[in-house]
Amino acid sequence: MNQQNTSFDKQNLTINSGKWSVELDYENWHSDKKEIKPTQSDIIIELSEEGNWDSVLRLVISNEDMQKTCLIKGIQGSSYLHLADEKGNSQSVKIDDNNLIISLGFNFISLNLNQLTLNWNLKPDMAEVFEFYDFQNDYLLRGEVEIHRIDKKGQIKWSYGGRDIWVNMEGKPEVQIEENTIRLLDFDSNEYLIDFDGNTLEDNPIKKTIKPKRKWWQLNK
């Protein structure tokens, strides 16, 4: 069973596969009470040079043969740990065979669970990356600035940007994977339809109503 306990500053999530169990404890850099200590881990992985605003993630990784603890430091930007639902929607954490795939702030990483080493560590976007989707044996990653298709070797196949960032102000889904296309909504709900190779099929900008400016002599009417 997968379990999740989430707040903005401190997050806890447990994910299980047939072979692996991973408990994730995330602590934001501005948490009032720091509880995660480097001495509590077997292995420490640095994602970037240490700074004053870095968050940390502790992983307790176990299978029937072992249990180890890994501390991931140097996480810059915001992170929200969540799993895909039964409909296969977005996720920020996934066990894929013997690898743990996570989007963390500016980083998108693959961690080898057997060796506790990084298969790859990407910063594909100019800003933060939020979540990813399973997509034709690849990952479709939603960044703030671009949508990225990334294969399981960590190679970026293509990136796609719109008129604005991929955070919809009305709370609508920014990414919808359809039968043969991907439908995207940006900040202002401009809509884009692209194919699986990242080519634009439709570009539908939202029509904004601009009210005519009143003349100065009409202001009091």
Spatial separation of the C-alpha atoms in residues 62 and 65, rounded to whole Å: 8
Residues of the chain with CATH 2.40.10: 137-216
The CATH number for 137-216, chosen from 1.25.10, 1.10.540, 2.40.10, 1.20.1070, is 2.40.10
**For the segment 162-175, what is each residue's pLDDT rounded down to a tens digit?**
999 999 999 999 99
Whole-model pTM: value is 0.88
**For the segment 108-141, what is each residue's pLDDT rounded down to a tens digit?**
999 999 999 999 999 999 999 999 999 999 999 9
Q: Are 60 and 67 in contact (CB under 8 A)?
A: yes
How is residue 172 annotated by DSSP? -
